[in-house]
Amino acid sequence: MKTEAQVFIGNNTTLMTPPHVPEISLHLATEAHDLWLKTQEELEAIGLPPPYWAFAWAGGQGLARYLLDHRDVIRGKSVLDFASGSGLVAIAANKAGAGAVTASDIDPWSSMAIAMNAEHNETAIAMRCDDIIGTDDGWEVVLAGDVFYDQALAGLLIPWFDALTRRGASVLIGDPGRSYCPLDRLEELAIYQVPVTRALEDSDIKKTTVWQFL
């Protein structure tokens, strides 16, 4: 029997392929769904945090594309996909041949969306809903798509990513030019022109860079 969350996600999304990652299908919101039109106040009234899980953000699309095109960077390795949202990057990591893949997001609705998307794509993804910033479970690769949109969050992520890198993890970041991306700490790996939804972004195409944290 489907849970209330599964029914809600199913009723308010459509299975779609992100334009830059056609190998993967996700439950995504479109202009055709009420979820797209709801204000933040309406979402809070029904106990639903902003549904970041319902959209394929540019940073995640670019990072997922990079993994699928450069499988050697992840093959057989333990992986954390931080702030996973829809699970796009975690699913791409699994399809690219990673070992154990964990998707982390503090939004419990995201966990349900990831579970549904992982099942549809026939991938095995472990999930965590706790706040893992500052922790280290020995992941060999840490993935972060579109996470530098907030100054306070960036202030927490940079020292965490630094510690993980110094320990020996490879930290890969997908970013479409967010304001708080620490460019002085990053090495460029690839650049993509990612189609996005103008209702979410300021253009139809976002230049998205995949970086390695130094």
What pLDDT does 199 receive? 67
State the alpha helices, DSSP H only, in the chain. 4-12, 34-37, 40-45, 58-69, 88-95, 108-120, 151-167
The residue to which tokens 């992100």 are assigned: 18
pLDDT surpassing 60 at residue 213: yes
* Torsion sign across C-alpha atoms 112, 114, 118, 124: negative
What pLDDT does 197 receive? 76
pLDDT surpassing 60 at residue 1: no
The three-state secondary structure class of 142 is: strand
Q: Are 183 and 151 in contact (CB under 8 A)?
A: no
Instruction: Give per-residue pLDDT as tens, 54-89.
Output: 999 999 999 999 999 999 999 999 999 999 999 999
What pLDDT does 139 receive? 98
Instruction: Give per-residue pLDDT as tens, 118-130.
Output: 999 999 999 999 9
